[in-house]
Amino acid sequence: MVSALLPRHASVISPTLAQKRQRESGSPVPVKDDWRHFAILACVLFGRSIIFYGLNTFLVLYWMHILKQSNTSGSLALSVLFIVGATGTIIGGHLVDHIGAVKTIRFAFTIMPFLLLAFSLTKSVIVASALLLPIGMLIFIPYSAIVLLGQRYLPNQMGFASGVTLGLAISIGGIATPFLGQVADATSLITVFFILTAVALIPMGAAYFITEPTIK
């Protein structure tokens, strides 16, 4: 179904910055890659990746050992996280269209640390469940915006940009997870969620140092 719809809507997909400049000038014009903003964006992406994989790995255990719920209940909470995340992806796409990629990223990561902190402090399964809904949305809302910005920052290196935003992001989260597991074994799962809260401050701060790409 998706393959059938893509050709029909291909004409409305936003052109890259390089394509816009070529159309305006009538001849190929090289566009400079913005490595500085791409590096800052990578900090946002890596922070998001660690938070996502941390939740993916430890949420069920947190539900069982801290909130004193069953394994089934913990698995259900994880399922809710992904279901809500799918909704967040759709919402994120609409936000990018209406307010831009940068504002979408700032919106998500400005709120996220406070929700994670509240989640880490609560012992109520009802409150934790209520917090899980916006947390799941905010993790996924900025993802499409991050990928889009990465390719716009590096219009001449789109393969590399895609490799980082779509590939390396998974590796970073996967690499960090065993270290979080060691922290959980040495201290507690609560400590892990406090660490995830602290990690969320990195993309929150970095989000305010990125800008929408402009044609110069």
Examine the pLDDT at 9 and tell me if it is beyond 60.
no
Question: Which of 16-20, 101-105, 119-123, 191-195 shows the lowest mean pLDDT across its residues?
Answer: 16-20
Average pLDDT over residues 119-139: 95
Q: Which CATH class is domain 33-209?
A: mainly alpha
Confidence tier at 171 by pLDDT (50, 70, 90): confident
CB 149 within 8 A of CB 101: yes
CA distance 142 to 102: 9
* Nearest residue to 104 via CA among 134, 152, 55, 138: 138
Q: What pLDDT does residue 31 have? A: 78
| pLDDT at residue 29 is higher than 60 | no
Per residue in 102-111, pLDDT (tens digit) is 999 999 999 9
Between CA 190 and CA 41 the distance in angstroms is 28
Of the pLDDT bands very low, low, confident and very high (cuts 50, 70, 90), residue 213 is confident
State the angle between helix axes of 71-99 and 101-121 in degrees (0 to 180), rounded to the nearest 10: 150
- Computed over every residue of the chain, the mean pLDDT equals 86
Cβ 189 vs Cβ 61: under 8 Å = yes
Model pLDDT, residue 167: 83
Q: Write down the domain spans for the chain.
A: 33-209
pLDDT tier for residue 131 given thresholds of 50, 70 and 90: very high
What average pLDDT score do residues 69-86 get?
A: 94
Listed in sequence order, the residues at least 6 apart from 129 whose beta carbon sits closer than 8 Å to its beta carbon are 77, 80
Which is more confident, 190 or 29?
A: 190
Do 101 and 192 meet the contact criterion of CB atoms below 8 Å apart? no
Q: How confident is the model at residue 28 (pLDDT cuts 50, 70, 90)?
A: very low
- Tokens (6 digits) for 32: 């400079």
DSSP designation for 142 = T
Per the listing, tokens 């399922």 go with 79
Q: Any idea which of 30-34, 51-55, 56-60, 121-125 has the lowest mean pLDDT?
A: 30-34
Does the pLDDT of residue 168 top 50, yes or no? yes
d(CA 22, CA 132): 45
Q: What is the model's pTM?
A: 0.83
**Cα separation, 60 vs 20, whole angstroms:** 47
Above 60 in pLDDT, residue 19? no
- The answer on pLDDT for 1 being more than 60 is no
Residue 71 has pLDDT above 70, yes or no: yes
